[in-house]
Chains A and B, each alone.
Chain A
Amino acid sequence: MIYLDNAATSWPKPEGVYQAVDDCLRHRGGNPGRGGHRLSLQAGRIILETRELLAQLFNITDSARIIFTGNVTEALNLALKGFLRAGDHLILTSMEHNAVVRPAYRLQDTGVEQTIIPCSREGRLDLATLAKNLRANTRLICVNHASNVTGTIQPIEAIGELAASKGIPLLVDCAQTAGILPIDVVKNKISLLAFTGHKGLFGPQGTGGLYIGKEIDLQPLKEGGTGSKSEVFVQPEELPDRFESGTPNTPGIAGLGAGIKFVLQEGLERIRKHEQALTRQIIEGLRRLEGVTRYGPNDLEEQTAVVSLNLEGWEAGELSYVLDQVFDIAVRSGLHCAPLAHATIDTLETGTLRISPGYFNTPAEIEVLLEALYSLVREKTSGRR
């Protein structure tokens, strides 16, 4: 199997991730933060360690301000619904994933106004347009750091500057970029950072979280047991307990910690360079094919390792099915849970075929993919004659 669907879930994982999950389940299986026996403490230490690794990766001073959630979707729901109130105005972009679009849509029922800034066909956000759409009641700007459809990277540093100059908090969805591009909550002036564990951070599925800046007053979406302040019925104010009711996914968080360690050891630059080289190989290989429409920016520096395309004479779903069944190559087709992004690049009707290489893919594997596509096109062309 050649796995090229890393924008959905990275696979395989670094060896240390498998080991950490196994070790956690076998040897550190207590309930973290509940009780003081050694197995519980061991579990608690795992959670602390992963939190501190995340703090290191994102330059967060106080790791207690990082909340674990089940995934980035839950983190984004918490950020949007826990922060916005009736009468507030939210700005988002047309490249957002449904993880933002749907909660934002629902928030309109509670009196939250929203403006969706249209991006260019390459998925780029224009800062001047963003600035023009700010209102007196704009309370939050929400930006997808990189699109899961086109890979388009938004200039979060410039967006952060603009937001900070107007005193508006910035929420960044870094599902596609954590572990690949540098993210610095101080430098990029990010107030809320929603991340997922199972993509670039190499963690297991079911891990993710939210960084909550000191300046943000956020309401929890759930209350319950935290292992602290048990005698009172009011949810504790202290972070992370305030937002972490219930037993966490400790084995998952153990794996995530090992994944982040791997990222820190390899270095973001090395990971990014490898993924860029594979992306370049795909893009250049596609140029030799007729009937390919490729989406997104035409510049490797402006995109992550995501190549979205359509091939003349092929429906994207059919193509991905054949690649999987005949050639043993895993890619994804469809709308990738981001209909607004597809409307932006004008593929809402067709969807796209998305090829997303990862750090563990090799140039030889990309060559096999390209050969498969060539042979499919040849077959179709000769079939027509």
Chain B
Amino acid sequence: MAKRCDKMAPEHNVYTVFTFVSTHQALKAEKVLKEEALKASIIPVPREISSLCGLAIRVDAQQRGQVEQTLRGKGVGIEAVFDFVPRTK
């Protein structure tokens, strides 16, 4: 299930962070998404999140479903998925 976190939002767009069970899986996720031409950045895991691995993948929230499906389809070990919502102030 997606967890929500509204503390860390450097911009106004909603975005999604995938965490992984190991660096291998994080880098594999990056590779798989690149092969599928899905836009993703590899980032250090945001402090609000606890993860087994220090690297995470950030994608546009609208891509979340497609990214998740692609990663699972390729057997990438996803740990958790988080949606980051910008503060409404």
Is the pairing of A and B real?
A: yes
In the complex, which residue of chain A has the Cβ closest to the Cβ of B24? A64
Contact in complex: B25, A64 (CB < 8 Å): yes
A85 within 8 A of B: no
Contact in complex: A36, B43 (CB < 8 Å): yes
A61 to B76, CA, bound (A): 12
Category for how many chain A residues contact B: 20 to 34
Contact in complex: A64, B22 (CB < 8 Å): yes
Which DSSP category, helix, strand, loop or mixed, fits chain B's interface? mixed
Interface stretch, picked from B1-9, B48-56, B63-71, B81-89, is B48-56
Residues in B with CB closer than 8 Å to A45 are 27, 30-31
Contact in complex: B22, A228 (CB < 8 Å): yes
- Given A41-B42, A48-B31, A64-B77, do A35 and B54 touch, yes or no (CB 8 Å)? yes
Contact in complex: B44, A35 (CB < 8 Å): yes
Among candidates A48, A63, A228, residue contacting B52 with C-beta atoms closer than 8 Å: A228
- Given A62-B75, A64-B77, A238-B77, do A33 and B23 touch, yes or no (CB 8 Å)? yes
A226 to B25, CA, bound (A): 13
A210 to B22, CA, bound (A): 18
Chain B nearest CB from A213 CB (Å) reads 15
Contact in complex: B54, A228 (CB < 8 Å): yes
Contact in complex: B27, A41 (CB < 8 Å): yes
Contact in complex: B44, A241 (CB < 8 Å): no
Chain A nearest CB from B24 CB (Å) reads 5
A297 within 8 A of B: no
In the complex, which residue of chain A has the Cβ closest to the Cβ of B53? A228
In the complex, which residue of chain A has the Cβ closest to the Cβ of B21? A238
A51 to B25, CA, bound (A): 12
Residues in A with CB closer than 8 Å to B54 are 33-36, 227-228, 230
Residues in B with CB closer than 8 Å to A317 are none
Contact in complex: B24, A227 (CB < 8 Å): no
Contact in complex: A48, B42 (CB < 8 Å): no
- Given A35-B44, A228-B53, A229-B52, do A241 and B23 touch, yes or no (CB 8 Å)? yes
Contact in complex: B31, A241 (CB < 8 Å): no
Residues in A with CB closer than 8 Å to B43 are 36
Residues in B with CB closer than 8 Å to A236 are 22, 52
Residues in A with CB closer than 8 Å to B31 are 45, 48, 52
Residues in B with CB closer than 8 Å to A33 are 23-24, 54-55
Contact in complex: A241, B27 (CB < 8 Å): no
Residues in A with CB closer than 8 Å to B75 are 61-62
- The 6 A-B pairs at the shortest CB distance, nearest first, are namely A33-B23, A36-B44, A228-B53, A48-B27, A238-B22, A238-B21
**A contact set with B: CB distance below 8 Å:** 32-36, 41, 44-45, 47-48, 51-52, 61-64, 226-230, 236, 238-241
**B contact set with A: CB distance below 8 Å:** 21-25, 27-28, 30-31, 42-44, 52-55, 75, 77
Give 6 pairs: A residue, B residue, CB < 8 Å, sorted on A: A45-B31, A48-B27, A48-B28, A64-B22, A236-B22, A241-B23
